[in-house]
């Protein structure tokens, strides 16, 4: 049993080591001669006008969050479809309840206006 956890632990340690080596090596080989031109904003050769900070409407974040939630739920539907024969009628009822909850959330978000783009 310990060997199963050891494999996961070693994988995590090795992956963190790769990340650390990449960050340190990039820090070591980067040029360290900053200038005003290098630190200026570059927009496809155009001179920057105004501030680069823009305040976005919160609806864009709500729309993106709704997309991510429903995208993840589609992954659950795919996993359920793979093992559908093993689950039987209980799995069908459970997925029907799950889809009902998702549809209820979608209808609620639609009525609140969270899905309106503009």
pLDDT tens-digit readout, 63-91:
788 888 888 888 888 888 888 888 889 88
Bridge partners, 69 (sequence order): none
Q: Does residue 101 carry a pLDDT above 80?
A: yes
CATH of 2-112, one of 3.30.70, 1.25.40, 1.20.58, 3.30.450: 1.20.58
C-alpha to C-alpha distance for 91 and 81, rounded to whole angstroms? 10
Q: How far apart are CA 73 and CA 70, in angstroms?
A: 5
Give the predicted TM-score (pTM) of the model.
0.47
Determine the Cα–Cα distance for residues 2 and 70; give it in Å rounded to an integer.
37
- 8 Å CB contact between 102 and 73: yes
Bridge partner residues of 46 (DSSP): 43
Query: Would the pLDDT of 1 be above 70?
Result: no
């Amino acid at each position: 049993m310990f060997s199963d956890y050891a494999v996961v632990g070693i994988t995590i340690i090795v992956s963190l080591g790769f990340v650390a080596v990449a960050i340190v090596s990039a820090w070591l080989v980067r040029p360290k001669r900053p200038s005003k031109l290098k630190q200026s904003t570059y927009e496809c050769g155009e001179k920057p006008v105004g501030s680069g900070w823009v305040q976005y409407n919160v609806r864009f974040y709500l729309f993106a969050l709704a997309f991510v939630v429903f995208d993840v739920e589609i992954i659950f539907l795919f996993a359920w479809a793979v093992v559908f024969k093993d689950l039987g009628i209980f799995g069908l009822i459970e997925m029907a309840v799950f889809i009902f909850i998702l549809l209820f959330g979608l209808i609620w978000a639609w009525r609140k206006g969270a899905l309106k783009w503009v």
